[in-house]
Amino acid sequence: MAEYKLLLEHADDPAYRTLAGYQAKGGYQALRKAVGMDRQAVIDEVKKSGLRGRGGAGFPTWIKWNGIEKEKTAPHYILCNADEGEPGTFKDKQIMETVPFLMVEGMTIAGWATQGDHGYVYIRAEFCDAAKAVRQAIDEAYAAGLLGKDILGTGWDFDLDIHLGAGSYECGEESALMSSLMGERGMPRLKFPHAPLPTVAGLWDRPTVINNVETYACAPFIVERGGDWYATLGASTKNSRGTKIFSVSGHLNRPGNYEIEFGTTLGELIDLAGGVKGGALKACVPGGSSVQILRGDGLRDAVIGYEEMWEAGSMVGSGGCMVLNEHTCIVSFIWRTAQFYAMESCGKCTPCREGTKWMLQIMERIVRGNGQPGDMDLLMEITKQIDGRSFCGLGDAAAWPVAAALKVFPEEFEYFIKHGRSMIDTPQARALAPRWAQTVGV
């Protein structure tokens, strides 16, 4: 299957980043239609569309929207998680930079459907250009009466603001994002069943909808063309509907963001990005650094869909597809991944705080050539002690890539531990090696 450009159709058109250009291409028709509909009807369209959260977890979006109290007793908040920090993922950045109005309109629709009062876009501070583009879009929307008081003559007020994060991966976790937004330390908060869902008590203990940038950007299409139409996209998969933007990076001829319909195979996605460069395909991390690595043989046929990918041994995640060629040392790759999670653990819970650091120490020892027999078992045990025991998903996300690599590429770990150097001993690999070797001071 080829690329299916829905969200990114006008990504290359600079005019689309202005309100006039956006409206010329049909922008804000969806909001106009939505405010003419019953609020529940909007949610029902989203339900029919089968839209699932694009941030990584794949939770049905309509359930969140439908969970907001219908008889309003308090202000409702609409949050957009634009703290895109998953290594390998850069789709939200492009959405915000090139099609910001899709997100702004999507949030406004969500606000309408849930009687929202105030929206916040939590953007990681490194995304200066994205933040500027969103700011500009919001300002234009305000000027045109598409945000603020009495939107489109409905008597409904909705405000939208930007909040810049301060550079913590953990703040992309929805409850930590809310902590951060409320001015607290960016640490996750108690979750259901330990505390009410965000839809009941989220930001400032008020009903809160929180979705990913891409999820909101889908909303205008669903409302405008109907949930049934949207559900025809990806109909070949079990339960994944619509399109998904994959940030394809690594050893590829044309790395970049590619929007595909669910049901496309990983091989087709890799071909879209110009195919593997510099050697044969060795492995692929399909959904961002948190998800399980897949071995090159056979992965081309893996179908992209939430359930399908799970059956293939990995996850759709946030769509950060990293493709590795045959010259990649998996041990070094995992060491670098472990470094990221040890650095980004917020420190709240014991398994993640101590486990990620310990895993990094072991990985570092191995890549320094001091691996010990038993290190693989120990690493595997540590991943089990973290996975499912940590306070939030960060611990799981730190454990999965290590556990998967140990399972999928055991021979590379065994070789590295036994010989004190990488099994991948090609000129290309050696050319890469000094970069990590220097970092750890080998």
Partner 1 sequence: MAAVANVPLVKVSINDVEIEVPKGELIVESVKRLGLEIPIFCYHPRMKPVGMCRMCLVEVGFKQQDGSVRKMPKPQAGCTLPASEGMVVYTDTEPIHADRRGVLEFLLINHPLDCPICDRGGECPLQNNTMAYGPSTSRFIELKRHLPKAFPLSTYVTLDLERCIQCGRCVRFTEEISGDHDLAFRFRGADMQPSTFQLTDFESKFSGNVIEICPVGALTSAKYRFRARPWDLETTPSVCTVCSNGCNVWFDHRAGKFVRINGRANEAVNEEWTCDKGKFGHEHYNAADRPTQPLVRQGDGFAPTSWSGAYDPVLAAFAEGGDRVAALVGPRVSNEALFLLRRLFERAFKSARVSSNWRRTPGSGSVQGTIADVESGGPVLVFGTSLADDLPIVHLRLRKGATNAGARVVNAFSRPTEVDRFAAVSLHYRPGSELALARGLHGLLAGTGATAEAVEAETGVPADRLREAVEVLKEGGTALSSQGLYDLSDGPQIVEALAGIARATGGRSECWATGANEQGAIELGLAGEGATATLQACAEGRVKALWLVAADPFALHPDRALVERALETVEFLVVQSPVGSEALAYASVVLPTALPAEQDGTYTNCERRVQRVQPAVPPPGDGKPDWRVFSECLLRALPETPLFNPREVMEAIAAEVPAFAGCRYEALGPEGTVLGGNLLDTPDEPAMVGGQA
Task: Indicate the residue among 299 and 397 with the shorter CB distance to partner 1.
Answer: 397
Task: Indicate the residue among 316 and 362 with the shorter CB distance to partner 1.
Answer: 362
Task: Indicate the residue among 154 and 372 with the shorter CB distance to partner 1.
Answer: 372
Task: Indicate the residue among 175 and 257 with the shorter CB distance to partner 1.
Answer: 175
CB of 219 to partner 1, least distance (A): 31
Task: Indicate the residue among 224 and 387 with the shorter CB distance to partner 1.
Answer: 387
For residues 173 and 398, the answer to whether their CB atoms sit within 8 Å is: no
What does the DSSP 8-state code read for residue 16?
Answer: G
Measured between alpha carbons, how far is 377 from 387 in angstroms, rounded to an integer?
A: 15
CB of 381 to partner 1, least distance (A): 8
CB of 196 to partner 1, least distance (A): 10
CB of 192 to partner 1, least distance (A): 11
End-to-end CA distance of the chain, in Å? 45
Q: Say which residue the tokens 């330990």 belong to.
A: 194
Q: Which two tokens stand for residue 21?
A: 């250009």
Strands 320-325 and 243-250: parallel
CB of 19 to partner 1, least distance (A): 40
CB of 64 to partner 1, least distance (A): 21
CB of 15 to partner 1, least distance (A): 42
Give the residue among 173, 401, 406, 410 at the shortest CA–CA distance from 291: 401
Report how many helices (DSSP H) and strands (DSSP E) the chain contains, helices first: 19, 9
Q: What secondary structure does DSSP assign to 168-197, as a single string? A: -GGGGSHHHHHHHHTTS-S-----TTTS--
For residues 261 and 243, the answer to whether their CB atoms sit within 8 Å is: yes
CB of 418 to partner 1, least distance (A): 18
Task: Indicate the residue among 268 and 364 with the shorter CB distance to partner 1.
Answer: 364
CB of 135 to partner 1, least distance (A): 28
* 256-261 β-sheet, strand order: 256-261, 243-250, 320-325, 281-285, 294-295
Positions touching partner 1 (CB under 8 A) are 168, 170, 185, 190, 193-195, 342-358, 361-362, 365, 372, 378, 381, 384-385, 388-391
Task: Indicate the residue among 50 and 87 with the shorter CB distance to partner 1.
Answer: 87
Measured between alpha carbons, how far is 233 from 242 in angstroms, rounded to an integer?
A: 5
Q: Which long-range contacts (CB under 8 A, 24 or more apart) does 228-236 make?
A: 228/48, 228/49, 230/48, 230/49, 230/50, 230/51, 231/48, 231/49, 231/50, 233/4, 233/6, 233/261, 233/262, 234/261, 234/262, 234/263, 234/305, 235/263, 236/262, 236/263, 236/303
For residues 96 and 133, the answer to whether their CB atoms sit within 8 Å is: yes
CB of 183 to partner 1, least distance (A): 13
Q: Would you call 20 exposed, middle or buried from its count of C-beta atoms within 10 A (0-12, 13-18, 19+)?
A: exposed
Measured between alpha carbons, how far is 23 from 174 in angstroms, rounded to an integer?
A: 31
For residues 131 and 123, the answer to whether their CB atoms sit within 8 Å is: yes
Task: Indicate the residue among 233 and 386 with the shorter CB distance to partner 1.
Answer: 386
Task: Indicate the residue among 54 and 348 with the shorter CB distance to partner 1.
Answer: 348
CB of 395 to partner 1, least distance (A): 9
Q: Which two tokens stand for residue 382?
A: 């540590």
Task: Indicate the residue among 336 and 353 with the shorter CB distance to partner 1.
Answer: 353
Measured between alpha carbons, how far is 177 from 242 in angstroms, rounded to an integer?
A: 27
Task: Indicate the residue among 272 and 376 with the shorter CB distance to partner 1.
Answer: 376
* 77-82 β-sheet, strand order: 159-164, 118-123, 77-82, 208-212
